[in-house]
Amino acid sequence: MQLTHEENQFERKTFPITLVCDHIYFQQNIGSLFRISEAFGVENIIFLGKDIPLTPRKINKTSRSTHLHVPHQIIEENAALIEYLQKNDFEIIALEIASNSKPLKEVVIPQNKKTALLIGNEISGISEDLLEISHQIVHINMFGKNSSMNVVQAASIALYEITSL
């Protein structure tokens, strides 16, 4: 028998993870990122960029009202984000296929340190200046001809892996 939302026995838990969304603008993705962040106990979401479309009416369909429960903020400039992450001593992990990336299964999450998981723009990925400050760059091994996946699906896989460690 399928359980209702009230009947499930999942432990409520928050992880010291901040999801950093580098210029993500598609409203369906934004709503879904709230939903997956709430499901995996993400502490905070940072949306990097100007004019991020956080209009609840437009993202509510995919967020299923989780945008009301997950703390989030907008930082407009890359330099301000970099300063924030470095000042607050985050372990910065970029989810990107790069010449120096390693498989996600090899990610190392330091104890007693907050994690910033960087995910990139739907078209161009993570900006070069954010890759440069990343402590780790990880990718998801894929076995088909396509070398990319939707940002929400990739974030879901990464959050599952990180919260399972």
In a domain? residue 54? yes
Share of the chain above pLDDT 90, in %: 85
Q: pLDDT by residue (tens digit) across 17-50?
A: 999 999 999 999 999 999 999 999 999 999 999 9
In a domain? residue 5? no
Looking at the structure of the chain, the number of domains it has is: 1
Distance separating alpha carbons of residues 110 and 4, to the nearest angstrom = 35
Q: How confident is the model at residue 12 (pLDDT cuts 50, 70, 90)?
A: confident
Q: pLDDT by residue (tens digit) across 44-90?
A: 999 999 999 998 777 988 999 999 999 999 999 999 999 999 999 99
- Name the helix (H) or strand (E) containing 138: strand 136-139
The predicted model scores a pTM of: 0.95
Amino acid at 20: V
In a domain? residue 107? yes
CATH of residue 83's domain is 3.40.1280.10
In a domain? residue 9? no
Distance separating alpha carbons of residues 29 and 105, to the nearest angstrom = 24
In a domain? residue 4? no
Place of tokens 């990336």: 101
In a domain? residue 99? yes
Q: Which domain covers residue 64, as residue numbers?
A: 15-164
Collapsing DSSP to helix, strand or coil, 13 comes out as coil
**Predicted local confidence at residue 22, as pLDDT:** 98
In a domain? residue 6? no
In a domain? residue 10? no
